[in-house]
């Protein structure tokens, strides 16, 4: 045991050392000594310090918040824009649409750009009742009926549980609250992943989805070129030692203020932006760099180490499958079989529209080509050659090249 602890401490020490070297390298590549002497703090957007409801009302839109309790006791916070500025006096029932963020994201992903450039606001102005989710473990969903976030048991989940518990609880809550029998679903990255699982394993719930919009869906990651995915190729035992057994990438209030202040300097804005681009691909000219401090104020929003381990298992196996508990007994208890089952995407019959990016380092087109034949009710597919992973939520041309198409498809499929 002592030897194991010593080994883990050594690994963590080396990790911190390499992290320091990496940051130092990025800094020296971004700024010069002369530049550091002249550095001054630029204007920090007030939105950087707002919560999601405040972001919404800041733009003049109505905001509501709700708590949803999952079957296994997690308390999820969800946000709502019940109507848009363009249709405030319209009492007609507005069709519900649910937006689900990706890995390390939160509901703010849909409202952090200007009103004419954020999907949440665009859908509200188009006449829809917009709901936005927050997965268990992120900044806004860190509570449980019985467990403390300090307990390892709280963090014993991956996107398996998000698909099995979070998504059904939230979707059923929305339909009950609005009195609507069906709704639209928009999922980005891991938000698209969990929908594939839920809709292929819960046919009764799947029947209540009018259209499923998958933005940069990630399933297999055989061909992903992101440096983050390269780290997932590490042996699982080593990765577990590095990540621990609880949460990862949680942004506390003091850390958020530090990051926002740092990225509020124009001389560091490029560095802050590069952190995002390194993970998902470069398309710098399509991102509003003046809003980087707003983006970094909420991203990453945190997840569990087990969720990252699950993605690592998929990297190693090359298969889109459930989490492997590395215990025959636990696997049998969870899945009634000794090994984790493969997800059967072909069992999903929901009408599906998919958008992908040619420069996406996470949802690589080769992996997408493995996914597409499994979608048996594909009603729309579009690849945007210039797009990387962030363009789907923050791209300056996203309204023209994708959001307008989403609205058009919704109008044609009421």
Question: Is the dihedral angle over the CA atoms 308, 142, 196, 287 positive or is it negative?
Answer: negative
Q: Which of these is catalytic: 53, 118, 141, 189?
A: 189
Q: Which of these is catalytic: 63, 129, 389, 391?
A: 389
Using CA atoms, how far apart are residues 343 and 206, in angstroms rounded to an integer? 15
Q: Quick one: residue 62, left, alpha or beta (phi over 0 = left, psi -120 to 50 = alpha)?
A: beta
Q: Which residues contact 124 (CB under 8 A, 6 or more apart)?
A: 61, 81, 82, 83, 84, 85, 130
Q: Among 198, 156, 151, 190, which Cα is nearest to 72's? A: 156
Q: Quick check: is 101 catalytic?
A: no
Q: Quick check: is 200 catalytic?
A: no
Q: Quick check: is 166 catalytic?
A: no
Q: Which of these is catalytic: 125, 166, 360, 364?
A: 360
DSSP string, 136-205: TTSTT--EESS--TTSGGGG---HHHIIIIIHHHHHHHHHHHHT-S-EEEEEETHHHHHHHHHHHH-HHH
Q: Among 400, 398, 382, which Cα is nearest to 390's? A: 398
DSSP 3-state assignment of 207?
coil
Residues recognised as catalytic: 189, 360, 389
């Amino acid at each position: 045991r002592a030897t194991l602890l010593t080994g883990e401490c050594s690994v963590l020490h080396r990790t911190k050392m390499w992290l320091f070297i990496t940051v130092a390298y990025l800094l020296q590549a971004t700024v010069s000594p002369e530049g550091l002497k002249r550095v001054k703090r630029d204007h920090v957007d007030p939105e950087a310090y707002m919560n999601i409801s405040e972001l919404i009302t800041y733009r003049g839109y109505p905001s509501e918040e709700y708590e949803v309790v999952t079957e296994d006791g997690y308390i999820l916070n969800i946000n709502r824009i019940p109507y848009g500025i363009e249709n405030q006096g319209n009492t007609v029932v507005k069709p519900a649409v649910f937006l689900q963020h990706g890995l390390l994201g939160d509901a703010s992903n849909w409202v952090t750009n200007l009103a004419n450039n954020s999907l949440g606001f665009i859908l509200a102005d188009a006449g829809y009742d917009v709901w936005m989710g927050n997965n268990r473990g992120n900044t806004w969903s860190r509570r449980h009926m019985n467990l403390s976030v300090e307990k390892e048991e709280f963090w014993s989940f991956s996107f398996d549980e998000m698909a099995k518990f979070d998504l059904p609880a939230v979707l059923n809550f929305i339909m009950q609250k609005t009195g609507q029998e069906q709704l639209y679903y928009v999922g980005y990255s891991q938000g698209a992943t969990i929908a594939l699982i839920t809709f292929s394993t819960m046919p009764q719930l799947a029947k209540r989805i009018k259209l499923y919009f998958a933005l940069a869906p990630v399933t297999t990651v055989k061909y992903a070129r992101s440096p983050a995915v390269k780290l997932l190729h590490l042996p699982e035992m080593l990765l577990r030692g590095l990540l621990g057994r609880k949460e990862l990438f949680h942004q506390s209030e003091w850390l958020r203020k530090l990051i926002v202040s740092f990225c509020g300097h124009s001389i560091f804005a490029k560095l802050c932006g590069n952190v995002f681009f390194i993970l998902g691909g470069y398309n710098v000219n399509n991102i509003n760099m003046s809003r980087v401090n707003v983006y970094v104020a909420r991203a990453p929003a945190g997840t569990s180490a087990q969720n990252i381990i699950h993605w690592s298992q998929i990297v190693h196996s090359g298969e889109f499958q459930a989490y492997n508990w590395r215990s025959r007994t636990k696997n049998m208890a969870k899945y009634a079989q000794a090994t984790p089952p493969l997800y059967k995407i072909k069992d999903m019959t929901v009408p599906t529209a998919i958008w992908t990016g040619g420069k996406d380092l996470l949802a690589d087109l080769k992996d997408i080509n493995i996914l597409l034949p499994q979608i048996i009710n594909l009603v729309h597919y579009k690849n945007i050659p210039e797009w990387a992973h962030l363009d789907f939520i923050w791209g300056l041309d996203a309204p023209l090249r994708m959001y307008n198409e989403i609205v058009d498809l919704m109008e044609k499929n009421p």
